Structure 1
Amino acid sequence: MRTFLVGLVLMCSCAPVSSVVSHPAPATAKTVVLQGGDIPDMRKCPQSDPWAALMLQGEPEMLPAGFATWSDLKAAGATEGWLSLYADSEPECPLLLGSAAPTGRLVYTAVIKFKSSSAAGASFASGSHTFPVAPDFAGRFAAAGGIVTKGASTGFGDNSAVATISNRGVPMYVAFWQNKSFDAVVYADNISASEATAAVNRMNGRIH
């Protein structure tokens, strides 16, 4: 009996188990854009962060032709944004803003966080007029002979579209989607479908 009581005292005197649950930091546009390792063996372009900062200062040339300006995005409810640029070869990074075709992989991503999921959904549904995707990009890709997939069949949610096409002999992949209060886009040259899908899933997984 004495042994049992000693054991009971020891059990009851143990330090209580902490019930504190750690929560991940809120997702931001900067943490959701493509990161190192999302697509193996690609290098972050040195222009990436400076161009993102210029975009937020209203420099539309930091976005491919036809994209909305940061002031347009803010008017639509955007609260923050960021872009990232990765390439196989750093000398090819500036080709994002040029007309020459890259010989290696070149990937541009942009993410905009809105004040609410409804604002993000409205931006997506607007035909991309208020997000950094040229207006009606899916329709233009289809008209040019590209393959366009929309909605849940993309694997990225109901508000999503994926387009693939060969442009100047270079395979191009574009994904545009909404997840919660975020809209995101991936433009990728010379990327396989499996690499692109994995990158989008990694970006999507950081939205919480």
Structure 2
Amino acid sequence: MNRVTVLASVLLLAACGGSSGGSGGAQQETSAETVASSSSDFSGLQKCPESGTWENYLKAEQAKDPTQYDTDKKDLDNLKAAGANDTYVAVYAAATSDCGNFGSDTPTGKVAQIYTIRFKDSSAASANFKVNQKDFHLSDSDLQNIKTAGGTVKQGTTTGLGDNSVLVELSIAGASFYAAFWQNKNFEVAMVTFNVSASDSESATTKINGRIK
């Protein structure tokens, strides 16, 4: 998925040195879309057409990159098997040319991507965190590469997002990169921004986390 291929390209640059769950009925649960999507999160960025449920996102990807789609469809199936019951992907960009980027090229303009997964309960979300952390290319070895390249890495309570969380910031080859991945209650959220200021990225992270009920 874009989450895998684009993050992998950033980490390749880094490695090379620089060139508790809710109660009540299901109808009362906070949706993945409610958590992921708000027009106030990123000033000056417009929502891209591939935004929507993860299935909708995959349909858009399938039309542009069928090979990558096959891999990413398996990822979604694995999430569902682990207890995911609602998903949403929100993509924002300053320029329409940076929408629909399903390849490995790092965006040249301002782009923000939010991947939200709601699980059946907080236990399922917590159990899946380490697995999904690796899928988002934020494994221990990936984080070490980011540190080696001069990036900042925070994990656990130091992020302000709870025990199951990681936050990274990196500027390399003229581009800035920010990623936050965390588990809160029965949700997992990954937020990735390119060329968006750290303060704006951090503010959006706080807003998104605050919508988890």
Which category of TM-score, normalised to the shorter sequence, fits these structures?
A: 0.7 to 0.9
CA–CA distance in structure 2, aligned partners of residues 50 and 206 of structure 1: 18
Q: How does 1:49-198 map to 2 (within 5 A)?
A: 49=52, 52-55=55-58, 61=68, 69-95=75-101, 97-102=103-108, 104-126=109-131, 128-129=133-134, 133-134=136-137, 136=139, 137-198=142-203
Q: With structure 1 as the length reference, what TM-score do the two structures score?
A: 0.75
Superposed displacement of residue 144, structure 1: 4.1
Listed one character per residue, the Cα deviations across residues 100-151 of structure 1 (whole Å, up to 9, x for unaligned) are 541x21011100011110111111133624xx51361434433444211011
**Runs (4+) off by over 4 Å:** 56-60, 65-68
User: For 1:29, which of 9, 27, 32 is the aligned residue?
Assistant: 32
Q: How many residues are treated as equivalent by the alignment?
A: 181
CA–CA distance in structure 1, aligned partners of residues 94 and 69 of structure 2: 20
Identity %: 32
Give the structure 1 partner of residue 12 of structure 2.
none
| Bigger share in helix | 2
Q: With structure 2 as the length reference, what TM-score do the two structures score?
A: 0.73
| Structure 1: gaps (5+ residues) | 1-23
C-alpha distance 67-158 of structure 1, shift in aligned 2 (>3 A): farther
Contact (CA 8 Å) 1:164, 1:172: kept in 2 or not? Answer: yes
SS class of match (1:111): strand
Q: Over alpha carbons, which structure has the higher Rg?
A: 1
Aligned-pair Cα RMSD in Å:
3.0
CA–CA distance in structure 2, aligned partners of residues 36 and 62 of structure 1: 28
| Structure 2: gaps (5+ residues) | 1-26
Greater relative contact order structure (CA < 8 Å, 6+ sep)? 2
